[in-house]
Chain A
Amino acid sequence: MRAYFWRSHTKTIPAALTLTTALLLTGCLGNNEEDWNGKNISGLMPELEFDLINSQGDSVSGSDYSGRVRMLFFGFTSCPDVCPTALQKLNQATSGLDPKLQDEVLTLFVSVDPKRDTPERLAKYVDFFGDNIVGLTGKEPQLRELAKRYRTTFGYDEPDSDGNYAVSHSSAIYVFDREGNPRLLMRPDLSGEEIRRDLVALIQEDS
């Protein structure tokens, strides 16, 4: 009986399967109803949590900055291009916000180069990129833990004769809402204006 079923439907079954897949794919791959410029990562990643030190040398955790929309970015202060460009862009995005909204956003710059980036050096570096930015770093295992949590990594190149070395790191900006839920992943090619629009939407969402 079962064999008969399969034999008598040799054409129907493939057709039905193809149709189902097509429907599933269009359902899964359709655009999100919300129009974000960044990539929606709700539910894909764990909420914001870390155990690091700030540029004053005090230990801080994720809950210390809760209540604000936070943008997490990994980098290092000797970074020649990616980090300054990204931080400049974030500064542009936040400084263009309505003054009332500016304090609702905080950039967390995590240096993954603790050997060179002392808290003092980090403080000087982040101050250059506006007010609403915090420099964070930690011991390498702490940083590895955080990077792993957000599915990213970093690595060090061999130092040259002057002891300088490049650090490979993520170029993405992870955006968390006030509750610390992961919401958006900003690719580095977004403009300051596009980032700002997403930030405004996130701030106004639940205020």
Chain B
Amino acid sequence: MSLLDYLLPYDFSPLTVLSYMLVMGFYGIGLLRMPDQDRPGALRIFAFTLGVLICYAVMQTRFDYYAQYMFFVHRGQHLILHHIGPILIALSNPLPVMRFWFEKISPGWKRTLRPLGWVYQVLQQPFIALFLFVGLIYFWLWPSIHFDAMLSRDLYWVMNWSMSLDGLLFWWLIFDPRPPAITSSLGYGRRMLVLAAAGVLQMFLGAWIVFSRDMVYDVYEVCGRAWPLDPEVDQLLGGMLTYIPPAMMSILGILLMLRRAMHQDGKYTNHSKTLEETAS
């Protein structure tokens, strides 16, 4: 197989390619056109591009072939779509670029798009966000649903897109760079609680897969593996990818939040403090 065969999609999805092109296109043009003082630094641009690229790579290169026929590669794919890719994108803080484009939208369109904003606000309620984030992992790994998702091309695409979009929503809620003291973003304490809960719930599932004696995901057995790997090893590796890296990412997220909270301690005058001062 030539290098090109590895880079070209295994299962070409025009909609997926188009979506990624639009994201990169809007980001690039936004960067070029926005005022210099708003433009993110090189590291942030790099983080964003890397995040988008790795998500694209696991969906539209040869990687996708291995993800379809190997359980542990599939878990790796979701680790990137649901965790690493969105984390990089959220940490890169593309807010200035989004703000640049938002200002270009006409007031009429803004009114039309308002329901989208309401949906977004509902989805970003901490409990709902946590429920969706962990729920989707459990849902797609539910053995009978997983079996169907790997057999049906449509379900497979729904699965991967839902993981990637939910990953973006969740990690944006967690890594929202706007300080909660003066904006409507989620408070640091709640962010840490959500992260801890997500970590623990994923560990339960990962541990269950790792310590399962039976074949839980036999679709790879039934439909043939990409190469003859021992099914138990495949399941063990897949379980470990569900178990360890997500838990580590929750802890890293909590540490990052602690750091931010410490930095911002006393930086912003709290509304209640102002009230106290006025009262005394």
Q: How would you classify the secondary structure of chain A's contact residues: helix, strand, loop or mixed?
A: loop
Tell me how far the C-beta of A10 lies from the nearest C-beta in chain B, rounded to whole angstroms: 8
Name the A residues within 8 Å of B155 (CB-CB).
Answer: 44
Q: Is B150 an interface residue (CB 8 A)?
A: yes
Q: Is B223 a contact of A153 with CB atoms below 8 Å?
A: yes
Q: Is B11 a contact of A148 with CB atoms below 8 Å?
A: yes
Q: Is A151 a contact of B228 with CB atoms below 8 Å?
A: no
How many angstroms from the CA of A69 to the CA of B151 in the assembled complex?
20
Name the A residues within 8 Å of B65 (CB-CB).
Answer: 153
Contacts A14-B127, A148-B11, A151-B150 hold; do A172 and B223 have CB atoms under 8 A apart? Answer: yes
Q: Is B228 a contact of A44 with CB atoms below 8 Å?
A: no
Q: Can you list 19 contacts pairing A with B, beta carbon distance less than 8 Å? A: A14-B127, A17-B128, A21-B131, A29-B144, A43-B152, A44-B148, A45-B151, A45-B152, A74-B224, A151-B151, A152-B69, A153-B65, A153-B224, A168-B225, A168-B227, A168-B228, A169-B224, A170-B224, A171-B222
Q: Is B222 a contact of A187 with CB atoms below 8 Å?
A: yes
Q: Which residue of B lies closest to A154 (CB)?
A: B224
How many angstroms from the CA of A185 to the CA of B147 in the assembled complex?
11
Tell me how far the C-beta of A46 lies from the nearest C-beta in chain B, rounded to whole angstroms: 8
Q: Is B224 a contact of A152 with CB atoms below 8 Å?
A: yes
How many angstroms from the CA of A34 to the CA of B55 in the assembled complex?
40
B window 193-230: CB within 8 A of A? 218, 221-228
Identify 10 new A-B residue pairs, CB closer than 8 A, beyond the known A44-B155, A151-B223: A17-B131, A21-B135, A29-B142, A39-B147, A45-B153, A148-B10, A153-B225, A154-B224, A168-B225, A187-B218
Q: Is A155 an interface residue (CB 8 A)?
A: yes
Chain B window 119-138, contacts with chain A (Cβ cutoff 8 Å), 1 for yes, 0 for no: 00100010110010001000
Tell me how far the C-beta of A128 lies from the nearest C-beta in chain B, rounded to whole angstroms: 24
Q: How many A-B residue pairs have CB under 8 A?
A: 73
Q: Is A41 an interface residue (CB 8 A)?
A: yes
Tell me how far the C-beta of A188 lies from the nearest C-beta in chain B, rounded to whole angstroms: 8
Task: Point out which of B131, B148, B155, B224 has the most chain A C-beta atoms below 10 A from its C-beta.
Answer: B224
Chain A contact residue count (CB 8 A cutoff): 33
Q: Is A44 a contact of B151 with CB atoms below 8 Å?
A: yes
Tell me how far the C-beta of A160 lies from the nearest C-beta in chain B, rounded to whole angstroms: 15
Name the A residues within 8 Å of B148 (CB-CB).
Answer: 44
* Cβ contact of B151, chosen from A41, A154, A166, cutoff 8 A: A41
Chain B contact residue count (CB 8 A cutoff): 30
Q: Is A166 a contact of B228 with CB atoms below 8 Å?
A: yes
Tell me how far the C-beta of A45 lies from the nearest C-beta in chain B, rounded to whole angstroms: 6
Name the A residues within 8 Å of B222 (CB-CB).
Answer: 170-172, 185, 187-188
Q: Is A13 a contact of B127 with CB atoms below 8 Å?
A: yes
Tell me how far the C-beta of B220 lies from the nearest C-beta in chain A, rounded to whole angstroms: 10
Tell me how far the C-beta of A18 lies from the nearest C-beta in chain B, rounded to whole angstroms: 8
A window 118-174: CB within 8 A of B? 148, 151-155, 157, 166, 168-172
Q: Is A1 an interface residue (CB 8 A)?
A: no
How many angstroms from the CA of A36 to the CA of B95 in the assembled complex?
53
Q: Which residue of B lies closest to A41 (CB)?
A: B151
Tell me how far the C-beta of B190 lies from the nearest C-beta in chain A, rounded to whole angstroms: 12
Q: Is B32 an interface residue (CB 8 A)?
A: no
How many angstroms from the CA of A102 to the CA of B10 in the assembled complex?
39
Q: Is A185 a contact of B226 with CB atoms below 8 Å?
A: no
Q: Which residue of A lies closest to B143 (CB)?
A: A29
Chain A window 57-78, contacts with chain B (Cβ cutoff 8 Å), 1 for yes, 0 for no: 0000000000000000010000
Q: Which residue of A lies closest to B130 (CB)?
A: A14
Task: Point out which of B142, B152, B218 has the most chain A C-beta atoms below 10 A from its C-beta.
Answer: B152
